[in-house]
Structure 1
Amino acid sequence: MISNRKSEHLNICNNEDVSFKNKTTGFNDIELLHKALPEINKEEIDISTSAFGKKLDSPLFFTAITGGHPEAKKLNKILALAAEEKNIGLGLGSQRAAIEHPELNETYTVAREYAPNALLLGNIGAPQIDLAEDAVKMFDADILAVHLNPLQESIQPEGDLNSEGFLDSISKITDLVDVPVMVKETGCGLSSEDASLLENAGVNYIDVEGAGGTSWAAVETFRAKDKYLGELFWDWGIPTAVSTFEVVNTVNVPVISSGGIRSGLDAAKAIALGADSVGMALPALKNAYYGLENLINLINQFNESLKIAMFLVGAKNLDELKNSSLIIKGETKEWLEQRGFNTKIYARRN
């Protein structure tokens, strides 16, 4: 049953090491150019942003975390309270479980109950056209996220390995619902080619969710009887920094950089690469288990470290951060140059 799988995912993510083993996000290869003369007042730095008509106090999203199991109700309440208090975006887990089993609805609707003004993201799979409208209505979602998880499906025992027609399905979903549609990967990243296809299909927002954070091959390995495939593909995917670079330099829709974002410094690098917002999941989930105060502290630390990074590059707001100079080196530089991208365009921007 889907609900049992959701519970297993929560427990594994909270209690096991599901991080990539040898592959990083690539943000260690991104160096923001320090300014010894920032010429700004740190106390006046503005990290607010807008997403589809809603003003947010921070570019941080909690992305597609949970739902579909009774245990998730408590967690989503805490996440919603934090999102409402700190005015950030909150994505919920795949809603298929609640649509097929209405008794689980409250594990999702609790989010709107405790975050009436927050930006909330619904969540369905790419082929689930028939679920799209119900997913939006369930808790008055502001955005509908459509997740792509071919690696996870390949490893999990009950995985669906037929992805024919997904792009057409996504296009139909964008026409069907009356809210913006975001497409997100689930820890393996998106290439420039995939991003271009999604933009042409009418997608309004892209979340790269690259490799280097939580490995869903790892999560499914803990569930599988045969560990071979999960171990083999544990580190599969495009590093988040690489995916962010490729997507923002290809499409003209807003981009979320997620997948291993762990601090405001990571976020500053992602935004300087061109991302509009950043997403975080596992740290939010783990802190939610400890309660609202821990979650608020996580957001405060994130916001403060982002402001310090912006102060050190002389950026008063996120638009100025987007135009900050940075150096791309190491494996990230090598990867991007082999893909035909010019990494030097960021080095002397201001």
Structure 2
Amino acid sequence: MKVFLIAGELSGDRLGGALMEGLKELVPGVTFEGVGGPLMQAQGLQSLFPMDELSVMGIAEVLPKYRHLKRRMHQTAEAVLAAKPDVLITIDSPDFCLRVAKEVKAASNIRTVHYVAPSVWAWRPKRAAKMARVIDQVLALLPFEPPYMEAEGMRCDFVGHPVVAEPVASDDEVAAFRADHGIGDAPLLLVLPGSRRGEVGRLMPGFGEVVARLVAETPDLRVVLPAAAPVAGLVREKAAVWAVAPIILDPNGMPTDAALTAKRAAFRAADVALAASGTVSLELAANATPMVIAYDMSWLSWQIMSRAALIDTVTLVNLVSETRDIPEFLGPAFKPEDIAPAVLQVLKDPSAQVGPMNVTMQRIGRGAERPGLRAARAVLDGVRDRG
């Protein structure tokens, strides 16, 4: 069996790696081609080009790179057609992936599966109908998503979120992490500014102001910042002017296992997190780490997205648990003078977030078969049904 996969960012790479592991377990001898990051490459993929070229978010941010991205779309579609896979699996990054799928479908009858249902419940509900023109099957991470996809004629399987299957640091690993970095019993703030260059560049100055305000109120506060490999240099550059030097976890030059172990320990060791919006809120919930979400974007991107929004929160823990206990500061609300008090309040009393985090984990698949294997079963079932 031959599978072509496309992922455009780190969260997609995580999904793709788990799916590939599941496919290898169910179909010995399966081969892979496509675009992916380190976790997919560890499962045997040779990426057509560096995945981080696709890690662009926001209308104003995409426009300067549009011509290059369009060339990559054509290159990828041509590679799919040349490979003639049994199935094309596109993972998140819909603006890129669905254009590739459209080009592939126009020239072939290759089965197409999209992993991560578009958040039509959040904004742009017509995307499902548009997607149905080029996608045969959808793999959904959230339990309430299948009806939206099925209403447009696509098969949709809820497979759970892979974060529930990822290991969590042990008490001994947490203790060792605190000891190795001289943290001791001091309160620890985890700062997560994202994995894309654009968002890191926008968020780091504001996050630095938040840190300065927090340290003024809590002088013994320590700060740890796990950096994504593609942006680690930028993170160091931006953090150099912070009032307090964070402990930066840079995975570059480290063995993959060691880098993941350090990141897991940081997540569980933290007393509170300040994070960009996105999948990271589920990672924090998996580690029972209370959080505050903050995200800024260009004026144009905010105007368009805020007017199109159908929901009042973007934080996945809030959405899945059907609560609003995770504070968030988005767009014009991204003000360090407001964010810092919210972080302090959560640090002092995180109890309101315990229940929503537990509910979220249960609803996205904790305790069930691991999501990567469920996703692999769904893909194979779809291929068999097609004959």
What TM-score, normalized by structure 1, do the two folds share? Answer: 0.33
Task: State the structure with bigger RCO (CA 8 A, min sep 6), 1 or 2.
Answer: 1
Larger Rg: 2
